[in-house]
Chains A and B, each alone.
Chain A
């Protein structure tokens, strides 16, 4: 068995759950997250490269998940477009998921467009700067700010011009300034 297979086994054993959770943030669907994680693992471990440890592999996989998630939209069917316009994704939180304080965010997150959601997750979960997000997604910084602004507006949050700080204006919560 090659060393890469041993590392793959370690990544699956120690990090699969967190990767699925990250996939859920991106897709708002557990089924989609499972597909995304597996495809990203295949993509990362398909390359003949040296990955020093599971932590490094984890970062590669997360980047691959982001890329795959955005690429996958190219293959969406027109029917899915119709559904996206008038409703949220299938994987929106159901009653069993609605017990935490983040229920509203789950539902709102599911209603974001893929790029809006990717930008929000990278900014507010991965804590990347606007410039870093732009580099990661291959977008102009202005585009990232627009996606962040639109996405946060849907989530009930406003963003300042530099995209670095937010003020919560909904849900009765305070944000950072």
Chain B
């Protein structure tokens, strides 16, 4: 067995022995899986119901669910696993890629509770024309009369609640799904991610500009990062986009109401969001992180609420009062397909800046600039604080001394010392664009090598940052460019209550804003 094999096995064994199983994990998984199993079974039944619904839309009276209404009168406790990385999972997620290669879906525009209808006869070439869909409850269907109406009233009173919404498209050629669009703008409250339904109400789901992904893209579709010239670009690559041709476009809408959406709505009513302060980490209630996040979002992140979130087990317990309790609903509606002709190649914005492609990291012979930061020669353990400062004066000067705010990330509270003459990678971080370009190199010293206090609870520490020996990859970036910097080297870190040791440091200085902006 090779060394790598042994090393991997060693890591595996070490991790296996060091882990513990959270109490309640089986219940949490079973609840999530059980809901999906239920929807899968209901989906099978819905195929039959769709036929019934179509008949109803033609004016034929149909017997409906006359199950007695059970009005909740007690609060319930909803326990949610909210992991530090994934956070609170949104409702109604659809993995449309799973339809790839399958036969065209069966059209199911009517379910037990909802109907789906569109107001257009075809899709615009670039998907940019708004297409509106009505999702109506049956209470608005005038054909329902007599006995059926009383049943409908019972049903509609039961669906007066909240639900998650997702919308997407499947593209079919020769009867086979060959592409898809998901994550089309849902008709939900942007703060809560929940749509509140009323008796007889309807909502408009607007398909805005989205990129149709080709099933043929395979691995490319998984990777939103690609290269234009030598610059990394965030977005779909040309190879992943549905090619020109004639398709049938099937609208797909999923609506889910559950104890989770009830809990989400309950929290929102109390000014609490289901978001965590930051991806990959949890915040302490009362911390600077919590203050900042609450001010920015207008809602308090769930990990900032004392007594609501169990950090040890990443479980949030929400008490849902009767007025926020909805029945479980999980329906997927597939609308009548619309003709869709793509005449041109997909439009992907190319980097327009003349220097973006000219001054690339590939043209810089800098030790840092090799696509990935290399760890050669540096200690294996890593401290990766983040900071923010305005670096734009560097465009007109070869050196700069300025103030910077430094935060530890993740929460490695302690003291960092010895940042002197570190290597600096300068990058551009263009406003309104997620792409960036490596622009040059420099040297950095912070606090003349003196200590930097890293305390996530208290917030950023103000330091003096000195950048010198700036070397651009070519011409300096133009005015108006926003600069960022990655500062790296070896320093001494003393964790709170621990012994100091030499560590690798990668300090990312973001322009202006806070790290999570």
Contacts and interface: CB of A to CB of B under 8 A. Distances in A.
Given A17-B17, A87-B506, A125 B5 contact: yes
B11 A24 contact: yes
A17 B14 CA distance: 10
Interface stretch (B67-75, B106-114, B217-225, B333-341): B217-225
Given A38-B83, A73-B222, A120 B19 contact: no
A105 B7 contact: yes
A24 B15 contact: yes
A104 interface: yes
Contacts of A13: 21
Interface residues of B, number: 80
A45 B33 contact: yes
Given A21-B13, A35-B85, A90 B222 contact: no
A17 B11 contact: no
B512 to A, nearest CB: 14
A95 B495 contact: yes
A168 B95 CA distance: 40
B81 A102 contact: no
Contacts of A168: 2-4
Contacts of B36: 42, 46
A145 interface: no
Interface in A68-111: 70-71, 73-74, 76-88, 90-95, 97-98, 100-109, 111
Nearest to B434: A78
Contacts of B380: 93, 98, 103-104, 106-107
Contact of A16 (B19, B40, B85, B97): B19
Interface string B491-517: 000010010010000101000000110
Interface residues of A, number: 87
A38 B29 contact: yes
Contacts of A39: 86
A4 B37 CA distance: 11
B11 A31 contact: no
Contacts of B450: none
A48 B40 contact: yes
Contacts of B40: 46-48
A87 B2 contact: no
Contacts of B435: 78
Contact of B382 (A4, A45, A87): A87
DSSP class of A's interface residues: helix, strand, loop or mixed? helix
B344 interface: no
A109 B375 CA distance: 11
B7 A88 contact: no
Contacts of B436: 82
Nearest to A147: B219
Interface string B58-98: 00000000000000000000000101111000000001010
B453 interface: no
A111 B376 CA distance: 12
Nearest to B361: A85
B425 interface: yes
Contacts of B5: 124-125, 127, 176
Nearest to B9: A125
Interface string A124-158: 11010000000001110001000000001011010
| Closest A-B pairs by Cβ, 6 of them | A78-B434, A46-B36, A21-B16, A21-B15, A87-B506, A45-B33
Given A93-B381, A137-B219, 15 more contacts: A21-B14, A31-B280, A34-B22, A35-B86, A86-B373, A87-B508, A88-B384, A91-B280, A95-B501, A101-B7, A127-B5, A155-B4, A157-B3, A166-B4, A176-B1
Interface of A: 4-5, 8-9, 12-13, 16-18, 20-22, 24-25, 29-35, 38-39, 41-42, 45-48, 70-71, 73-74, 76-88, 90-95, 97-98, 100-109, 111, 113, 115, 120-121, 124-125, 127, 137-139, 143, 152, 154-155, 157, 166, 168, 171, 173-176
